[in-house]
Amino acid sequence: MKILVPVKRVVDYNVKVRVKADGTGVETAGVKMSMNPFDEIAIEEAVRLKEKGVATEIVAISIGVAACSETIRTALAMGADRGVLVETDMAVEPIAVAKMLKALVEKEQPQLVILGKQAIDDDMSATGQMLAALLGWPQGTFASKVAVENGGITVTREVDGGLETVALTLPAVVTTDLRLNEPRYASLPNIRKARKKPIETMKPADLGVDPTPRLTVLRVTEPPKRRAGQKVGSVAELVMKLRTEAKVI
């Protein structure tokens, strides 16, 4: 079975994000970029399925600027077989990404698409669901456990108040939650080998999709600064302050 895994290039999770001076977005110039952590989990899951003999090929896809090929290389070093880069300088929104992925699914004919449940930059949590809807495929979102058996797939989902298990027929869309697995590192020899794996490059137009944004960003601002905490001397003082100053009780 073939698995597609889309991987997004985002500001590294260790970087303290700064708002651009003109308020149009966050600063990305000279900032360390990495693979969206949920996508690392998606790649890891696909690689594990390949190691179990369930999957035969893993294709990593990234949509965005030319440097997204670095993100694909990371996926290749972790164990994906080849990459597809859909290159555009536009800021792509989930619906445009989902449409391009749909076109790639039609071309590649995978049995499974594994995505991160959300990207840590805009936290939309939309692409996987949109893709499933466009394809008319079943979806298992926020997966904390995935098992492929008897031509179907069982997905344990993290939902409010507990776990829900759903059985899907293949082909299907799965999105990963944090506890699905702990992604491996790419070893240095595998990073080397990944440099030789193929990456195919195309444009959104090749997939028949116009990625022009439909949303307009009005303004991006820093959250208000947290004020310093206070130390209290006694429980009585705490209760008094909660009542008179914070006015919460």
Partner 1 sequence: MSDILDAIEQFLARDVVMHVHGLEKADAYPAEIVERMKALGLFGATIAPEYGGLGLPCGQYAQIVERIARVWMSLTGIFNSHLIMAAIVGRHGTDAQKHEFLPRFAVGELRGGLALTEPDCGTDLQAIRMTAKRDSDDYVINGTKTWISNGIYGQCFALLVKTDLSAQPRHQGMSMFLAEKGPGFTVGRKLEKLGYKGIDSAELIFDDYRIPADRLIGGVEGFGLKHALSGLELGRINVAARGVGVAQAALDESVKYAQLRKTFGKPIAQHQAIQLKLADMATRTEAARLLVGRAADFYDRGIRCDMEAGMAKLFATEAAMENSAEALRVHGGYGYSTDFPVERFYRDAPLLVIGEGTNEMQRIIIARQLIERSPV
Residues that bind partner 1 (CB under 8 A): 14, 34, 70, 73-74, 77, 185-189, 191-192, 194
Task: Identify whether the C-beta of residue 26 lies closer than 8 Å to the C-beta of residue 222.
Answer: no
In the complex, what is the shortest distance from the CB of residue 187 to partner 1, in angstroms, rounded to a whole number? 5
The CA-CA-CA angle for residues 20, 25, 28, to 5°, reads 70
In the complex, what is the shortest distance from the CB of residue 186 to partner 1, in angstroms, rounded to a whole number? 6
In the complex, what is the shortest distance from the CB of residue 194 to partner 1, in angstroms, rounded to a whole number? 8
Strand partners, 87: 64
Pick from 35, 32, 39, 30: which is nearest to 4 by CA? 39
In the complex, what is the shortest distance from the CB of residue 184 to partner 1, in angstroms, rounded to a whole number? 8
Tokens matching residue 49: 């399925």
Task: Identify whether the C-beta of residue 99 lies closer than 8 Å to the C-beta of residue 134.
Answer: yes
User: Is the Cβ of residue 30 or residue 162 nearer to partner 1 in the bound state?
Assistant: 30
User: Is the Cβ of residue 163 or residue 185 nearer to partner 1 in the bound state?
Assistant: 185
Task: Identify whether the C-beta of residue 128 lies closer than 8 Å to the C-beta of residue 8.
Answer: no
In the complex, what is the shortest distance from the CB of residue 240 to partner 1, in angstroms, rounded to a whole number? 30
Q: How far apart are the two ends of the chain, measured CA to CA in Å? A: 58
In the complex, what is the shortest distance from the CB of residue 212 to partner 1, in angstroms, rounded to a whole number? 32
Instruction: Please tell me the distance from the alpha carbon of residue 215 to that of residue 170, in angstroms, as a whole number.
Output: 33
Task: Identify whether the C-beta of residue 137 lies closer than 8 Å to the C-beta of residue 171.
Answer: yes
Pick from 106, 88, 73, 112: which is nearest to 191 by CA? 73
User: Is the Cβ of residue 107 or residue 193 nearer to partner 1 in the bound state?
Assistant: 193
Task: Identify whether the C-beta of residue 241 lies closer than 8 Å to the C-beta of residue 233.
Answer: no
User: Is the Cβ of residue 123 or residue 182 nearer to partner 1 in the bound state?
Assistant: 182
In the complex, what is the shortest distance from the CB of residue 13 to partner 1, in angstroms, rounded to a whole number? 10
Instruction: Please tell me the distance from the alpha carbon of residue 247 to that of residue 249, in angstroms, as a whole number.
Output: 6
User: Is the Cβ of residue 67 or residue 232 nearer to partner 1 in the bound state?
Assistant: 67
Tokens matching residue 6: 């889309």
User: Is the Cβ of residue 13 or residue 107 nearer to partner 1 in the bound state?
Assistant: 13
User: Is the Cβ of residue 32 or residue 107 nearer to partner 1 in the bound state?
Assistant: 32
